[in-house]
Amino acid sequence: MTVIGDPLNRVDGRLKVTGAAKYTAEVQIRNLAHAVMLCSTIGRGRVVRMDTSQAEHAPGVVGIMTPWNAAKLAGAEDRLTTLQNDKVFYNGQPIAVVIAEELHLAQHAASLVRVQYQAEPPQLDFEGGFPTAFPGHSFQPADTSWGDVEAGLAQADVKIDQVYTTPIQHHNSIETHATVSQWEGDHLTIYDTSQDIFGYRAELASILGIPEKNIRVLAQFVGGGFGNKGITWSHMILSPMAAKHVNRPVRLVVDRQQMFGTVGSRPKTHQRLVLGATRDGKMTAIRHQVYAYTSAYDEYMESSAFATRSMYACPNLETTHRLVPLNLGTPCPTRAPGVATGTFALEVGLDELAYELKIDPVQLRLANYTEVDPRLKLKFSQKALRECYLRGAEQFGWSKRPFEPRSMRDGSRLIGWGMGTETYRGTRFPTGAVVRLQADGRVSAGSGTGELGNGMYTIMTQVVSDLYAMAPDLIDARLGDTNLPPAPLLAGSRSTASVLPAVQAAAIDARAKLLNLAVEDPESPVHGAAVDDVDFKNGKIFLKSAPDKSEAFTRLLSRHGSQPIEGNAKVALSREVEQQYSIYSFGAVFAEVSVDPELGNVRVPRIVAVYDVGKVINEKTANSQFVGGIIWGVSLALHEDTYVDERTGRILNANLGEYRVPLNSDIGEIKVSATDIPDPVINPLGARGIGEIGVTGTGAAVANAIFHATGKRFRDLPITPEKLI
């Protein structure tokens, strides 16, 4: 019996479609009050005065926190803007919190607060800040180089030197951010929409000055995160502050407009890409220079050139990242952070190079294929990108593609085919898990990870079901609670690779304890046997050489006080392995577009993508993640753009009516598949994460298809009808 790889239905699916799955804002606590953040209306300056007299006397108001009466926090930093001073760093920054008996009463009272500012001109000129930009900090150096780029460019027969830009984009998960806080003495229980409950607990303990053991954080269902729910934001500190302020539980929900500013964004990028190649398509030099903004009070680096360092064989390379501080909210990881924006520039640049060389875009990539990470000089743990190119091209019908632009039509519409390479770093972090074999015949598997649509409840269930050869409906997955063993940030395509081996190891530990108990029990049919000669499957303990000598594990447990057998594990990728291999996932994506040359309307009738992500644990949830990533990549290319008033820093389209995202009618047929080749290095299951990779390369594939359709090259996203005509 095996269920690994099967398209098992989501075990939490019924809870979600019936409304039984409770999200943070639905948590009910006795005597719960409702908090609303009041946000600044200037882009820079100070709050000079705040008149709260009308609001204080409004119906249902139980408290108002301002910079003048909020508790002072020893561990607070300016970046969290938690009412510790009167400074204003960006338009939309929290400057007060109104708490009332009901949400609508808090909202009304907040509208009655009168604020007087001392305003200063905000810094919002992105390109004007280039001369004073500075390197950022990340898990890789901001700047990397090898060889001699100038010499490589001198050797090149053909050069590409272009600038590519991407706009500010906001996450806009359907579930907005929310935090519910309840104090019981000096102990704090938090319900939150967090992707990182352990990181949040640690930061909260530091800021509030209380021990971590006094804080419990729960996030059992998260309604989409895309990166920004992995950061500790102001509201996540203001909620427990408000609960302490009014001495009762408080729920603080970030409204849709506040999602544009207070909880991060994908930053605007300006990327200069220089490529050099010989006539046969071999690249001789790559230079990738990235400018992105960060906030005026904090630092976040959009790592757009990181993927460039590991994608193609090139003897001479130089990448740099520079940050421009602006009076906007701090940017943060946004699905496939850095790689989504960086592969747009790189993969469009490769397409431009292919046209200059008159080489098929797939063949150009194969000409620069590498089995060794160019930056680390390490062999990839497992790589089947060549197969992705070839299989994807065959499924798409790429061989029928005429090379010349504007050579395909469907009636009056122009048809174009484009492609791109997809990639994302494979990661695995230290993770703990616990598995309990229970006297009622059920198995509980727990880890402090989370569920935000990635299918974690389901794949945890599959791992235990597979190992024990038990029906999946006998397995109970538990997660989203800091009382469970620690797990890493639920982001960066790391959770599957990190959590599942921990669950597997804990299940093995529980099985070993069960079998030891059985062979030592005089009443057991396997009493006295060597543990290696005994097995446990389908709820039964049996002798391998004589399977009829068996009993249900529940009978064994009943003889021993019906106490559960508990297995524990904490596992991580060894340092030795990290020093020997580079771990990445790869893919190839092919897109067809249909363009109305008069109206500039772009449709994407079909996309084909093939992925190399190691072993697929669940075909159904994997496909959902691939398709979701591709849709976001289409949105990156054609739809999303945040408009900022350059005088005030106000977001002008801070709602889902004017912030464009794809509708069902914007997305055509999407066909995805995976090579399903286990990665023998990353973990015993051979599985890497897949949450990010579908976004990468897809925006470039769509942009390249538009060039093939129209003969017009677009280097500034999004590609809108106005630009096309």
* Model pLDDT for residues 483-541, shown as the tens digit of each residue: 999 999 999 999 999 999 999 999 999 999 999 999 999 999 999 999 999 999 999 99
77 or 208: which carries more pLDDT confidence?
208
User: Across-strand partners of 119?
Assistant: 45
Same domain, 70 and 218: yes
Residue 681 · residue 619 · CB < 8 Å: no
What whole-number distance in Å separates Cα of residue 296 and Cα of residue 328? 7
Give the count of domains, the chain: 3
Assess whether 365 and 348 both reside in one domain: yes
| CATH number, position 96 | 3.30.365.10
Nearest one of 204, 234, 171 to 40, comparing CA atoms? 234
Instruction: Answer yes or no: are the C-beta atoms of 115 and 86 closer than 8 Å.
Output: no
Pair 679, 615: CB distance under 8 Å = yes
Task: List b or e across 210-231, with b for residues whose CB sees 16 or more CB atoms inside 10 angstroms.
Answer: eeeebbbbbbbbbbbbbbbbbb
CA distance 548 to 183: 56
Domain limit, last residue, from 198, 232, 259 = 259
Other C-beta atoms closer than 10 Å to the C-beta of 108 total 18
Residues 379 and 441 grouped into a single domain: no
Same domain, 437 and 420: no
Tell which residue, 334, 256, 261, has the closest CA to residue 302: 334
Point out the domain boundary residue: 231, 259, 287. Answer: 259
Domain that holds residue 476: 429-572
- Using omega within 30 degrees of 0 as the cis cutoff, is the peptide bond preceding 718 cis? yes
Kindly tell me if the per-residue pLDDT of 1 is higher than 70: no
Same structural domain, 184 and 80: yes
Residue with tokens 């002072």: 72
Q: Do 381 and 323 have their domain in common?
A: yes
Query: What sign for the dihedral angle of Cα 401, 402, 403, 404?
Result: negative
Position 79 confidence tier, pLDDT thresholds 50, 70, 90: confident
642 and 687 together in one domain: yes
Has residue 138 been placed in a domain? no
Q: What is d(CA 214, CA 188) in angstroms, rounded to the nearest whole number?
A: 6
Question: What residues form DSSP beta bridges with 34?
Answer: 100, 251
Residue 253 shares a structural domain with residue 285:
no
| Gap between the terminal Cα atoms of the chain | 58
Beta-bridge partner residues of 610: 588, 673
Does residue 382 form part of some domain?
A: yes
Q: State which amino acid sits at residue 505.
A: A
In this prediction, residues 379-394 reach a mean pLDDT of 98
- Inter-CA distances, 203 with 11, 116, 311, 597, Å: 32, 32, 35, 53
Helix (H, G, I), strand (E, B) or coil at 463: helix
State the Cα–Cα distance between residues 129 and 131, nearest whole angstrom. Answer: 6
Burial of 522 (0-12, 13-18, 19+ CB in 10 A): exposed
Instruction: For the chain, give the mean pLDDT.
Output: 97
In a domain, 15, yes or no: no
Tokens of 10: 């989501």
Three-class DSSP category at 592: strand
Predicted pLDDT of residue 77: 77
β partners of residue 96: 38
Summarised one tens digit per residue, pLDDT across range 178-192 is 999 999 999 999 999
Q: Give residue 619's region: left, alpha or beta (phi > 0; psi -120 to 50).
A: alpha
What tokens appear for 22 in the block?
């409770």
Spatial separation of the C-alpha atoms in residues 582 and 439, rounded to whole Å: 44
Query: What's the pLDDT tens digit per position in 632-643?
Result: 999 999 999 999
- Condensed to tens digits (0 to 9), the pLDDT of residues 401-460 reads 999 999 999 999 999 999 999 999 999 999 999 999 999 999 999 999 999 999 999 999
Letter for the amino acid at 604?
Answer: V
Q: Are residues 210 and 347 in the same domain?
A: no
pTM exceeds 0.85 for this model: yes
Same domain, 246 and 276: no
Domain boundary among 548, 572, 596: 572
Gyration radius from the chain CA atoms? 27
